[in-house]
Structure 1
Amino acid sequence: MTDRTSAPAGWYPAPHAGNELRYWDGTEWTAPPPAVAAWPAPGGAAPGQPAGYPVSAPPVIRPLRGIAGATRILLIVGAVVSFLTVLVEAWGLVAVDGFTRGAAPLSDLELYDTLSAPISLASAGLMLATGICWVVWQYRAAVRVRAITPTATRRTPVWHVVSWLIPVIAWWFPFQNVKDLVVASRASLTRAILGTWWGLWIASTAFVSLSGRLSWNAETLADYPAVMSTSLLGELLSIAAVPLAIVILTRATDAMDPAGR
């Protein structure tokens, strides 16, 4: 918000200072604190500053819209690659079945191998890039909401990143963290949207992981239809999760960074 004439005194992101955390005394913004970690002398706060005013540098509130836009683009491109993966896996199933029955040449299987390798690499690269952008956005969002209300999220901004990387914990901590951001920002999102998005993401991750394990253990041509089927299902679930992820990202960003609309 740029107009705080009716806002109570407190700490807010200051639009005129790049959304850096500043103190609003009810009529005007106070000067920024010096970048020296210290507290006021026992005699009290410095003139013109509220009691208990910290002089350590506050967290920098970084914009969300740029990283949110990049994440949206990567999500869409990733969905397109997932769709291509579905087509390739479906072709692989047909090729294996036809070759087994003697109705398709070996070249059909070779074409599947030729197509699946680059698409798998592209999918992995896009997932990594999208994941990096998503956690950067989530970290910035957590810093933003905790700067105003330190208890707005149950975990620190660092945990909003780390929780995606720890086995087992990654199955529910990230969902709780995103939910905290949505609730704190009062974004226009329902539990159904959040729950469906997370359920699709978890199911997609599980099927893709299962496909990888089946592929690693596959020894004969007869083992590959199961690999292809689980991969295909995982990609379909991933595609279904993308629109919901974009809705969550967009609405939460709009709620936390309204000045950029």
Structure 2
Amino acid sequence: MDRWFSSERPMGIAASVLVGLVTVTSWSTAWSDFNLYRTRRTYGDNADRWSEANLISGSLGIVAALALFAAAAVFIIWLWRVRWNAEMFCRGEHRYTRGWVLGCWLVPVVNLWYPKQVVDDIVAASDPRTDPLTTELKDVPGARLVWAWWLTWVTGLVTGNIVQRGVLSGASQLGDLRTNVILSSVSALFITGAAVFAVILIQRIDELQSMRPWVPWWAVGTPQNRFQPPAR
């Protein structure tokens, strides 16, 4: 088979940097919501002040959206590549085909749990403790790190995007603006937690794939086909 392993550490580092940028922009968005609330409370219906605060909020929202898009694109590319390695480390069947590495993030509803299961299978297949001839990766116990990353991410997503941006978008009343501040702050807090766990997870998968001998599962037991990744 014309396939081989590759180190995805550089792509993982790029994803980690962009994930960190998303954290910064999420807090800047929370600040812009607070600025809207403070402007309304301090200046009331002053049109100039309100327009200025809205302009800041809109501009930071665009920056946050661009940062999230860039981070998501690089993270999914990294995930696709480490999935490629994982398929060669272990013969175990992944719960979803490789197309779902991208699709699981785009399809509504299932994007609340499919991505976690995709990552669960990659971690299981990459772990040196997993027998390369294991047939079902779903039977391998999941890692608590993956749970921590996914729960914090989903919570941040729900509070930040579905509740705040969906229900309270365009809010101008003081009470609604106060609720916006609370929700955006909670969202930023959980997104920060998810970002920390994501960076640790990226490093962990890189370590697992580096520790495991780079030999495809179908060549297990054939010494001449074994290859160890270069030392760092």
Q: TM-score, normalised by structure 1?
A: 0.68
Distance in 2 of aligned mates of 1:130 and 1:174: 15
Rg: which structure is higher? Answer: 1
Could you say which residue in structure 2 is the equivalent of 1:237?
A: 190
> What's the CA shift string for 1:195-245, capped at 9, x where partnerless?
221111001111122211124464756543333432332122111211111
Alignment partner, residue 68 of structure 2: 127
Aligned to 2:224: none
Deviations 1:75-127 (A, max 9, x none): 11221222222222222222223334x9xx65543332121111111110111
Separation in structure 1 between the aligned mates of residue 189 and residue 128 of structure 2, nearest angstrom: 28
Measured in 1, the distance between the counterparts of 2:167 and 2:39 equals 19
**Is 1:86 aligned to residue 39 of structure 2?**
no
Mapped pair 1:194 → 2:135: no
Partner of 1:147: 88
Q: Deviation per CA, 1:168-201, whole angstroms, max 9, x where unpaired?
A: 111001101111112222289x843222211110
Q: How does 1:70-219 map to 2 (within 5 A)?
A: 70-100=14-44, 107-151=48-92, 153-186=94-127, 191-209=143-161, 210-216=163-169, 218=171
Q: What one-letter code is carried by the residue in structure 2 that aligns with 1:192?
A: R
CA gap of 1:182–1:235, structure 2 versus 1, over 3 A, is same
Q: Which runs of 5+ in 1 are unaligned?
A: 1-56
Note closer, same or farther for the CA distance 1:192–1:145 as it changes in structure 2 (3 Å cut): closer
Q: What are the residue-to-residue correspondences of 1:3-18 with 2, within 5 Å?
A: none
* Letter of the structure 2 residue corresponding to residue 236 of structure 1: L
Assess if the C-alpha contact under 8 Å between 1:203 and 1:234 holds in 2: yes
Amino acid across the alignment from 1:93: Y
SS at match of 1:256: helix
In terms of fraction of residues, the more helix-rich structure is 2
Could you tell me how far apart the structure 2 residues matched to 1:111 and 1:229 are?
22
The 8 Å contact of residues 89 and 229 in structure 1, kept in 2 or not, is answered as: no
- Paired with 1:107 and 1:192, the residues of 2 have a C-alpha distance of 50
Assess, with a 3 A threshold, how the Cα gap between structure 1 residues 133 and 187 changes in structure 2: closer, same or farther. Answer: farther
Percent of residue pairs identical: 19
Note the residue ranges of structure 2 that are not aligned, 5 or more in a row. 130-141, 212-228
* Distance in structure 2 (CA, Å) of the matches to 1:157 and 1:109: 48
Amino acid at match of 2:145: I
Residues 187 and 118 of structure 1: CA distance in aligned 2, closer, same or farther (over 3 Å)? farther
Higher relative contact order (CA 8 A, sep 6+): 2
The answer to whether the 8 Å contact 1:88/1:115 transfers is: yes
Per the alignment, residue 30 of structure 1 pairs with none
Equivalent pair of 2:82/2:122 in contact (CA under 8 Å): yes
Give the Å deviation of 1:164.
1.2
**Secondary structure of residue in 1 paired with 2:99:** helix
C-alpha distance in 1, partners of 2:38/2:121?
A: 45
**Equivalent residues in 2 for 1:18-29, closer than 5 Å:** none
What is the CA–CA distance in structure 2 between the aligned matches of 1:64 and 1:153, rounded to whole Å? 20
- Secondary structure (helix, strand or coil) at the match of 1:156 reads coil
Match of 1:58 in 2: 2
Is this contact kept in 1: 2:25–2:63, CA < 8 A?
A: yes
Across the two proteins, how many residue pairs are aligned to each other?
A: 202
Deviations 1:119-161 (A, max 9, x none): 1111101111111111111111111111232315322222222
Partner residue, 2:202: 249
